Amino acid sequence: MDFSNKHVVVTGGTGALGAAVVAGLLRGGAHCIVPYRAELEAQRFAHRGDPNVTMIAVGDLADETQVARVYAGLSAVSSLWASIHIAGGFAPGSVADTDKAALMTQLNGNLVSCFLCCRAAIGAMRAGRQGGRIVNVASRQALEWRSGAGMAAYTIAKSGVATLTTTLAEEVVREGILVNAVAPSIMDTSANRAGMPQADFNAWPKVDEVAATILFLASPDNKVTRGAVVPVYGKV
């Protein structure tokens, strides 16, 4: 897929899935803007130092001012083509065991951050007047609510991401901006393997496979898909 001379924001780009997405974008010729939260994760990032990667320290993507700073340089001169929102977090917990602080952590980390980045991306794309693509990351629980039992706040937040995706897709399609999301199940990462050592790792979707779906949805090759929340479950 050809991303030549296209600017793409990737939140969560220093994580396992994000790094796979950034690698694919770089192979396609993109310039990637990667916000990061912790200096240690930035130091470990495989694509740090690549001339087509711009890294921006951001403490909180649920803060409007900090999000605006990420997108501020993307004007009509160097217009934004795509914004891919992978940043988020997981925490288990039933409703009875989840207090307001834990709920708000999941809402801010998964839904509010995605909303603010979508909002800022739309502004940058409108300035460029070339259309664009937005890809969010929901979860399997966002499509299969009952499977979210025991992880209520996370499921609520990711369900909000799915709803945001379909709503925004309708709002901006006539401007040539296509908005979609992927909904992964448990992905095959070293952290997930360590946390669930007895699981069948072969059944889990690989990060490169999930990244391939994201890259298509974000690419100029995607000319018609919008408002979709695409299951990427593997064999689970």
Give the DSSP H/E element, type plus range, for residue 85. Answer: strand 80-85
Active site members: 154
Q: What is the DSSP letter of 112?
A: I
Report the alpha-carbon angle 20-111-52, nearest 5. Answer: 30
Reported residue count of the chain is: 236
Backbone phi, then psi, for 192, in 5-degree steps?
-70, -35
Q: Spell 107-125 as b/e; 16+ CB within 10 A means b.
A: bbbbbbbbbbbbebbbebb
Count of alpha carbons within 13 Å of 180, Cβ hemisphere only?
23
- Which residues, in sequence order, are CB contacts of 65 under 8 Å at separation 6+? none
Place of tokens 């072969």: 202
Alpha-carbon gap, residue 3 to 21, rounded angstroms? 12
Reduced to 3 states (helix: H, G, I; strand: E, B; else coil), residue 67 is helix
Asked if 36 and 55 count as a contact pair (C-beta separation under 8 A), the reply is yes
